[in-house]
Amino acid sequence: MKIELEGLTNRVPGTGDFITIDYAKCNNCECCLIICVMNLWRKKEGKIYIVDDYQSKCLECAACYQICDASAIKFQYPTGGTGIVFEKG
């Protein structure tokens, strides 16, 4: 299922990296792949990663961070004044 965000959200320019993964802690459980409604997590050659342009698509729900039992995902909300702005709903 694809979620259309046009008209629902607006991205404020300047959003930097706000999700990182510690590969030393990651146990490849794939929970982040399952929980992400925006389908931003991938697995390639046995390695979990987040897509390069996640900043422009992430809903900033922190579900990936919450579900990671290995504490491999670090999430921090984007700097104030940047990130996602919900226009409706």
Distance (Å, whole) CA 71 – CA 26: 8
- Average pLDDT on 34-49 reads 95
Q: Which domains does the chain have, with CATH numbers?
A: 26-86 (3.30.70.20)
- Quick: pLDDT tens for 44-67: 999 999 999 898 889 899 999 999
- Average pLDDT on 59-79 reads 94
More confident residue, 50 or 17: 50
Residue 11 pLDDT level (bands cut at 50, 70, 90) = confident
Position 22 scores a pLDDT of 97
What average pLDDT is seen over the chain?
88
**The model's pTM:** 0.81
